Chain A
Amino acid sequence: AQSVAQPEDQVNVAEGNPLTVKCTYSVSGNPYLFWYVQYPNRGLQFLLKYITGDNLVKGSYGFEAEFNKSQTSFHLKKPSALVSDSALYFCAVRDTPGSSNTGKLIFGQGTTLQVKP
């Protein structure tokens, strides 16, 4: 069965410093990987996705993520954090067609990012 793990409940970083939010996954086939952000009392917003191709994926608001197949990871990164980046971040995974999975998106437990001025 597919699964995704976010090992950190919270990440704290100072404004201007680089940030990393970690994600590891487990799927039976090739993964489709996604990052979403949720601001307080809002729905989730799509940030970026990895389907195939370049292992470094660039997304919205200056975020990027690196797909590492050998480590089964898809960490979210940003070179310089902003206070406005403070939010809840979710990693998600979906199996590729042909596996037993029906294409549902499975989310990690979420990581709260706190950026301090």
Chain B
Amino acid sequence: EADIYQTPRYLVIGTGKKITLECSQTMGHDKMYWYQQDPGMELHLIHYSYGVNSTEKGDLSSESTVSRIRTEHFPLTLESARPSHTSQYLCASSEGPYTGELFFGEGSRLTVL
């Protein structure tokens, strides 16, 4: 069982609210990722980090931001949520740079009204 946790699992909020999705892992992995999963199932990489104080934007442009102050923690923030941000957000971490598999959290399903 993977030791990576996401909170909240489900969140329904109004437009304009600031939200933070939490992601923590206890495996000591340097590499962490945020994926956005569309209702039609596809996964898109929106942010990644290769270590403390390292963050990069992924392949899909996102208005969210991330921070990596501690190895185990990789939160994602939306300053002003909009209905277009409604999606499932999946956090993951990996041990190796290329051969290591990703370990995923259970996901945070965000609905913006």
Q: Which residues of A contact B (CB under 8 A)?
A: 32, 34, 36, 41-46, 49, 51, 88, 90, 94-97, 102-107, 109-110, 112
Q: Which residues of B contact A (CB under 8 A)?
A: 2, 6, 33, 35, 40-43, 45, 48, 56, 58-59, 90, 92, 94, 97-99, 101-107, 109
The reply to whether A43 and B98 contact each other, CB–CB distance below 8 Å, is no
Specify which chain B residues have a CB less than 8 angstroms from the CB of A45 in the assembled complex.
104
The reply to whether B98 and A97 contact each other, CB–CB distance below 8 Å, is yes
List 22 A–B pairs whose Cβ atoms lie within 8 Å, in order of A's numbering. Answer: A34-B102, A36-B104, A41-B109, A42-B106, A42-B107, A43-B2, A43-B90, A43-B105, A44-B90, A44-B92, A51-B99, A94-B98, A95-B98, A103-B98, A104-B33, A104-B48, A104-B58, A104-B59, A105-B102, A106-B59, A110-B41, A110-B43
- Further pairs besides A94-B98, A104-B58, A104-B59: 15, Cβ < 8 Å: A32-B99, A34-B101, A36-B104, A42-B107, A43-B2, A43-B90, A43-B104, A43-B105, A43-B106, A88-B41, A102-B56, A103-B98, A106-B45, A109-B41, A110-B42
